[in-house]
Amino acid sequence: MTLTTGRAAMSYSVEAWDPSYGTTFATGEEDALSGSKAELDPEIEIPASEWRAVPPRKEQSHPPTVLFVDGVRRIDSRIWIRATEPDEDAALGLCASYASGVVVCQHHERGNSARIGASQVRRGLFTTAVEARDIAAPAGNYQAYITDADPAMPLPVLLSAELQQHLAKLEISVAVAARDQLEPSQQDEDLLVIDGPLRGRQHLPRTIGYIKTHHSRYLPDELNQLVGRLEPGHRTPVFSMGTNWERYSWYLRLPFREGAPWAGIVRVECSADLTAEDAVKLAYLSQSVLVRYASSEIKDPRAPQNLYPIAGLERELRRRLGNPQILHRSLRSGRAG
């Protein structure tokens, strides 16, 4: 948009992404991405001196089955667990509900279909208190998970990280279950899309991680400039990176309307256990698949990055978590097992 002032005309662009969700890049400073210390090899597909946008392949086939896996979590209540010794302080605990599910999208001669192939809901009590026991509440039982305290990490952050690890394990469980339900002829031709980084799930075959919020700038400046210039459907060349874990990655631009530099930009990653050739094949496949499911700002405040199957799955999983007010009241009348 162009705005004319008393001095001169200026231009600005507005992201379609709803600001109530933060920004498409999450850093302490919202005007620039923080640099990453990850080791980088940009020459997996194209030499760094020849880096250019990679257009989609016209002859690229679409997998007959695409599975989208995602998870949601919610803190139902923070509780204090009293120690058995009267002179000891009470310990913090998080009572949380979390769920994961898979949307199975299939393409066949009779048309296209989408369904929830597998889902699970869990409730847990996360704490460092060794005295903690399961809580039997009228609206649902909360299984106790006891983790070791870490003096270097604030307790709420530690417990939240423990909850996230359990959610990641649940995502693996439902993904494997959904794949097992496929016809034998389809099980080697599918693609699994995980909403979020692939870490801890990189052993899953034919799987890509889908990152729609950018926390760091991984590429050097001279290569990073290409990201903002990508046309819809185009991607950067594949590169590899790693700190305490390695993966292949690339940036892809989804169809978008606004002109913000990183509007519609997502980062995709796959396992470093693959050959470079197989990683490039997945990169081309992602251009065919992810663009097809990009959302519209008319229907989704996080368009286009919040893919339609993932958005629908999130809504259904949050419904399955149950009413938070009822669960909170239920916890107040529950008892430790």
pLDDT in tens, 33-74: 556 667 899 999 999 999 999 999 988 888 999 999 999 999
Average pLDDT over residues 274-300: 91
3-12, 27-36, 116-125: segment of lowest average pLDDT: 3-12
**Per-residue pLDDT, 326:** 93
Average pLDDT of the chain to the nearest whole number: 86
Reported as a single tens digit per residue, the pLDDT across 241-250 is 987 789 999 9
Q: In the structure, what pLDDT confidence band is assigned to residue 24 with cuts at 50, 70 and 90? A: low
Q: Is residue 4 part of a domain?
A: no
Q: Is residue 176 part of a domain?
A: yes
Q: Is the model's pLDDT at 6 over the cut of 60?
A: no
Q: In the structure, what pLDDT confidence band is assigned to residue 11 with cuts at 50, 70 and 90? A: very low
Q: Is residue 134 part of a domain?
A: yes
Number of domains composing the chain: 1
Q: Which range scores top for mean pLDDT: 33-47, 107-121, 319-333?
A: 319-333
Q: In the structure, what pLDDT confidence band is assigned to residue 337 with cuts at 50, 70 and 90? A: low
Q: Is residue 8 part of a domain?
A: no
Q: Is residue 3 part of a domain?
A: no
Reported as a single tens digit per residue, the pLDDT across 196-243 is 999 989 899 999 999 988 888 899 999 999 999 999 999 999 999 987
Q: Is the model's pLDDT at 188 over the cut of 50?
A: yes
**Per-residue pLDDT, 182:** 86
Q: Is residue 201 part of a domain?
A: yes
Q: Is the model's pLDDT at 325 over the cut of 70?
A: yes
Q: Which domain holds residue 84?
A: 16-336
185 dihedral zone (left: phi>0; alpha: psi -120 to 50; beta):
alpha
**Per-residue pLDDT, 1:** 37
* Entry pTM: 0.85
